[in-house]
Structure 1
Amino acid sequence: MPDWLREVDGAIILTIHVQPGAKRSEVAGEYGDALKIRLAAPAVDGRANAALLAFIAQRLGLARSAVELKSGLTSRRKSLRVTGARPDAWHCLLGQ
């Protein structure tokens, strides 16, 4: 299991490094102990956070309500709690 993913109380916790304002939304690989995600949305009025949650939910095939921002509201480094995903779901995030 990668460093940026852990399992806690039946949910998975993802550590994400976000790059807002990119040309397109995509997974850019690992960034230290985090998963780097480029987002097309700007970091204005919470748009990047909303786009991140929707992007993760779509990649994992889950409802948007299954992904919750736990920390990092105004930071590039974020912690997300995902319920209803399998622990091996990280393959979907990396496109494998």
Structure 2
Amino acid sequence: MAVSVWQDGICLEIKVQPRSSRNKLVGNQQGIWKVKLTAPPVDGEANQALVSFLADIFGVSKQSVKILRGDTSKLKLVGIHGVSPGQAAEVLENLSGKK
């Protein structure tokens, strides 16, 4: 599942790599997006960083980004309100360098 429809937005499967040198979308492997984050996986810091990162790249508020599954796992299912699948595909392709 690269990008799927969820309520009034999209849903993404994301694998998080915490404690990286910078926040970055790395790419997609078998339908799962890999995101590197500088935050450690302690006390929800990586989750907060992921929500902020996704809100920034999609141009939505932090309240529009919801972690639906995987609060304590590296593999997460994230819903983002207010973004169409077409918009999401364009943003993700541009950031991952794949066109």
Residue identity opposite 2:75 in structure 1 = R
Residue identity opposite 2:89 in structure 1 = W
Match of 2:54 in 1: 56
Give yes or no for contact 1:56–1:93 (8 Å, CA) kept in 2: no
Kindly report the root-mean-square deviation, in angstroms, between the aligned alpha carbons of the 2 structures: 1.3
Match of 1:86 in 2: 84
Residue identity opposite 2:24 in structure 1 = E
Give the 3 Å change call, closer, same or farther, for CA 85–54 of structure 1 in structure 2. same
Deviation of the 1:80 alpha carbon: 0.6
SS across alignment from 1:50: helix
Q: TM-score w.r.t. structure 1 length? A: 0.90
User: How many residue pairs end up in the alignment?
Assistant: 94
Give yes or no for contact 2:15–2:32 (8 Å, CA) kept in 1: yes
- The 2-side partners of 1:70 and 1:86 are apart by 18
Q: TM-score w.r.t. structure 2 length? A: 0.87
Give yes or no for contact 1:27–1:94 (8 Å, CA) kept in 2: no
Match of 1:14 in 2: 12
Match of 1:46 in 2: 44
- The 2-side partners of 1:93 and 1:65 are apart by 20
SS across alignment from 2:67: strand
SS across alignment from 2:19: coil
Deviation of the 1:39 alpha carbon: 0.3
The runs of at least 4 consecutive aligned structure 1 residues that moved more than 3 Å come to none
- The 1-side partners of 2:6 and 2:62 are apart by 19
Give the 3 Å change call, closer, same or farther, for CA 51–91 of structure 1 in structure 2. same
SS across alignment from 1:7: strand
